[in-house]
Chain A
Amino acid sequence: DSGVTQTPKHLITATGQRVTLRCSPRSGDLSVYWYQQSLDQGLQFLIQYYNGEERAKGNILERFSAQQFPDLHSELNLSSLELGDSALYFCASSASDRSAHYGYTFGSGTRLTVV
């Protein structure tokens, strides 16, 4: 157990639907990062939040959004889902921006299957 908790572990949904993925960072970590891992794109950085505020944005589609709540957990919302959104979505955390060079701690991921 890495200390980063992601729920649910698996999600199957239909095209056009909306889902919410949840991440609780490791205790004491303020930064949360979302990554998408697919066979064709590899590991792609989506977005980072630090202490409730968006800090960096990567290859995140407009149909996707995220937020970090006061208790520091984060949610990634995926809407108007397409077959190509099927992937493993990882959340990672680090203590702060300045400690990111120590490495991130990753959760076990949520496997999303869009049918």
Chain B
Amino acid sequence: AQSVSQHNHHVILSEAASLELGCNYSYGGTVNLFWYVQYPGQHLQLLLKYFSGDPLVKGIKGFEAEFIKSKFSFNLRKPSVQWSDTAEYFCAVLFCGNKLVFGAGTILRVKS
């Protein structure tokens, strides 16, 4: 079955700490990969996406993600988080077809 796993459900960091959120998916074929962010009380917004080319993808607000095909992973990173990065982060995978499957989400709280 097509599935997406996010390793941590809750992450608490201090400002300026580095962030890495793990994401793995189950399917071995061609996939398109996304990270979405949901700030408190807001809708889901696209942070970054990968569908071909350079496996290191840069998104908005200083976020980046690396696609490692051999590990079926697409981890999200940010070198130095800010209080305003407090949000829930969702990894999503577009498997064959057009159904976007989301991971369970990771709630990030950044302490100021």
Contacts and interface: CB of A to CB of B under 8 A. Distances in A.
Query: B-side binding surface: helix, strand, loop or mixed?
Result: strand
Contacts of A97: 98
B74 to A, nearest CB: 14
Given A43-B90, A43-B105, A100 B49 contact: no
A108 B43 contact: yes
Interface in B72-112: 90, 94, 97-105
Interface string A82-115: 0000000010101001001111111111000000
A48 B98 contact: yes
Contacts of B67: none
Given A42-B103, A43-B105, A103-B34, A90 B98 contact: no
Interface residues of B, number: 21
B99 A101 contact: no
A31 interface: yes
B103 A106 contact: no
A56 B99 contact: yes
Interface of B: 32, 34, 36, 42-46, 49, 51, 90, 94, 97-105
Interface of A: 2, 4, 31, 33, 35, 42-43, 45, 48, 55-56, 58, 90, 92, 94, 97, 100-109
